[in-house]
Structure 1
Amino acid sequence: MAENRMKSRGLGRGLSALMADVNETPGAPADAPRRPDMMVPIEKIVPNPDQPRRRFDPDHLEDLSNSIREKGVIQPLIVREKPGEAGVYEIVAGERRWRASQKAQLHELPVVVREFNDTEVLEIAIIENIQRADLNPVEEAAGYRQLMDRFGHTQEVLSRALGKSRSHIANLMRLLNLPADIQDMLEQGKLSAGHARALITSDHAKEIASKIVAEGLSVRQTEDLVKKFASGEQDKPKPKKADKDADTKALEGDLSAALGMKVFIDHKAGSESGQVTIKYKDMEQLDELCRILSS
């Protein structure tokens, strides 16, 4: 029964309703500028506290600010009256334009005022960012989690409504199981989603993540490293060999001079046994070694 209600409800009003609400006239081109309802002082506009997008790229904001400073805000912000605060408007869509307009020192902004409840505001904020591909993987995953936890949507419902595969949604949401340090690296672009997915099941995720960043490992190299850690084959500091005594070094030198090849003696401390290694550089030296040993 609950599933049927979700199917009929879809994702609330969502972006399709938002776009229908702000079309200037029926049949207007999709890319036609929207007609603002009014101009509002910028200090009377506040951001949505549930905005899923937590990072705004400073360089992109600067570019948009320069464009707004030259051409103004072409597309008005979508806002609603802030509950309990007359004359104050809460952003439903367009926070990036609002931030860039502040940098451009605009005093007022064009807005389209619509009536949305708290649920619709959050849904639209999440869906708009996801569909515009403006979220990093962690923010997108958190957006899916919010839609599921707060509104009861299933991965199947999200998949159909957003045009994303169910596996895409499931894989992204698994990133939320990673330690906070690794999620930060992912948000900052130090790790890719592929790197992060490879770390999800590892008990050494933080150690491997640091190695990825320091050495610039590929996703394939990361997957191999995860397997090595899982099997206990990861690189470990090799025990430092004891220094050879003077007699052993002298004997290595004498044998090397006699054979014309590099000779190494590895004598096991506290025993009478060991091994001798002779290094040849080409086939001629190998033939000469065979001749000496067989003579």
Structure 2
Amino acid sequence: MADKKQERRGLGRGLSALMADVDVAEQTSGDTKPQPRRADDQIPIEKIEPNPDQPRREFSEDDLKELAASIREKGIIQPLIVRKNPARSSDYQIVAGERRWRAAQMAQLHEVPVVIREFSDTEVLEIAIIENIQRADLNPVEEAMGYRQLMDRFGHTQEKLATALSKSRSHIANLMRLLQLPEDVLAYLRSGALSAGHARALITTDDPSSLAKQVVDRGLSVRETERLAKQPTSPTPKAKTRTTEKDADTKALEGDLSANLGMKVTVDHKPGQEAGNVTIRYKSLDDLDEICRVLTAMPRDESR
């Protein structure tokens, strides 16, 4: 827990300052023409190496070949962001732009344009996560996990991420809610068998795994999935009562709490009464640590 608290103290540079270096258009092989950034220098390609802690491990060979063809024709539009290699001061380490660096090698370039910055190891990891979130080909689970990492590791709030990444807070909150789903449903999301719209309809159901399989097997649309999710799973009066007693405000509160904590939160509040129960379901000891951290950080009402 001590290590987590250390990371949560935040970076001296701040997320907005980091975004100023990373918030550039990724070079593609299409017709998009982003405004090029002025490079600090041209560095021999053999003097540059990737960051060993880069979260992204998979690079499509076909995409790299396509980008290499674009680089042969147009050159590298956006320079790589690099820092001095911590192990060898004469060399450099990639902070952002490993995909362009790989494609440049395929295009047989001898030098590449770079922007040189001073970043700590922690800042490099944060930038790598941000750069991955900005990729257009991310599936909803990968994007949600990126937001979760930025919040868990660096203490960023949804509001702060929304502002820095030019996303709406509801977009971030809705994606992070998807992480409440079972792993088999998340697998459907990763593969594209389910869309984020399908998955959102399943979050509040009692058996999302079974319903997800039905949706995939029957090829249901999002609207059809929403209707399926509203059908009672049991004909017993008890189940029917439970589904009707929660109002829209309570469900919205559950969604906000779940998104903020990254865990399943259930609010049981009987209409007309002041008391109720809040249940937080955690999946690991790290999650329990996070709950304890949030609760102990809350200011106490001394009047009670």
TM-score, structure 2 normalization: 0.60
CA separation of 1:196 and 1:104: change in aligned 2, threshold 3 A = farther
In structure 2, what is the equivalent of residue 169 of structure 1? Answer: 172
Match of 1:37 among 36, 41, 48: 41
Q: Retained in 2: the 8 A contact 1:39–1:111? A: yes
Report the alpha carbon displacement of residue 163 of structure 1 after superposing the two structures with TM.
Answer: 2.7
Spell out the pairing of 1:1-295 with structure 2 (5 A cutoff). 10-11=14-15, 13-17=17-21, 31-42=35-46, 44-47=48-51, 49-51=53-55, 53=56, 56-131=59-134, 133-228=136-231, 230-231=233-234
Unaligned runs of 5+ residues in structure 2 are 1-8, 25-33, 237-304
Check 1:71–1:164 CA distance in 2 against 1; reply closer, same or farther (3 A cut).
closer
Distance 2:138 2:65 in 1: 18
For 1:210 and 1:102, the matched residues in 2 are separated by 43
Cα distance in 2 for residues equivalent to 1:31 and 1:100: 20
Unaligned 5+ segments in structure 1 are 21-29, 234-295
**Which residue type is aligned with residue 92 of structure 1?**
V
Q: Write the distance in 2 (CA, Å) between the matches of 1:43 and 1:179.
A: 44
User: Matched residue of 1:159: which SS?
Assistant: helix
In the alignment, residue 42 of structure 2 is paired with which amino acid?
A: M
What letter corresponds to residue 119 of structure 1 in structure 2?
T
- Name the CA shift for 1:82/1:190 in 2 (closer, same or farther; >3 Å): farther
Q: Which has the higher mean CA deviation after the structures are superposed, 82-91 or 6-15?
A: 6-15
Q: Paired residues, what number? A: 219
- How many Å separate the matches in 1 of 2:167 and 2:50? 31
Shift of 1:90: 2.5
Query: How far has the Cα of 1:18 moved from its partner?
Result: 5.2
Contact 2:81–2:117 (Cα < 8 Å) also in 1: yes
Q: What displacement does 1:80 show?
A: 1.4
Q: CA deviation at 1:217?
A: 1.4
Pair 47,103 (structure 1): closer, same or farther in 2 beyond 3 Å: farther
CA distance in 1: counterparts of 2:103 and 2:163, whole angstroms: 33
SS in 1 for 2:133: helix
SS in 1 for 2:192: coil
Which whole-Å deviations, capped at 9, do the CAs of 1:160-199 have from their partners, x for residues lacking one?
A: 3323222211111112222333323322322211112222
Tell me if structure 2 keeps the 8 A contact 1:46–1:90.
yes
Larger Rg: 1
**Post-superposition shift, 1:231?**
3.9
CA distance in 1, matches of 2:61, 2:200: 27
Shift of the 198–58 alpha-carbon distance from structure 1 to 2, 3 Å rule, reads farther
Q: Is the 8 A contact 1:15 1:128 kept in 2?
A: no
C-alpha deviation, 1:134, in angstroms: 4.8
TM-score scaled by length of structure 1: 0.61
Change (3 A) 1:56 1:221: farther
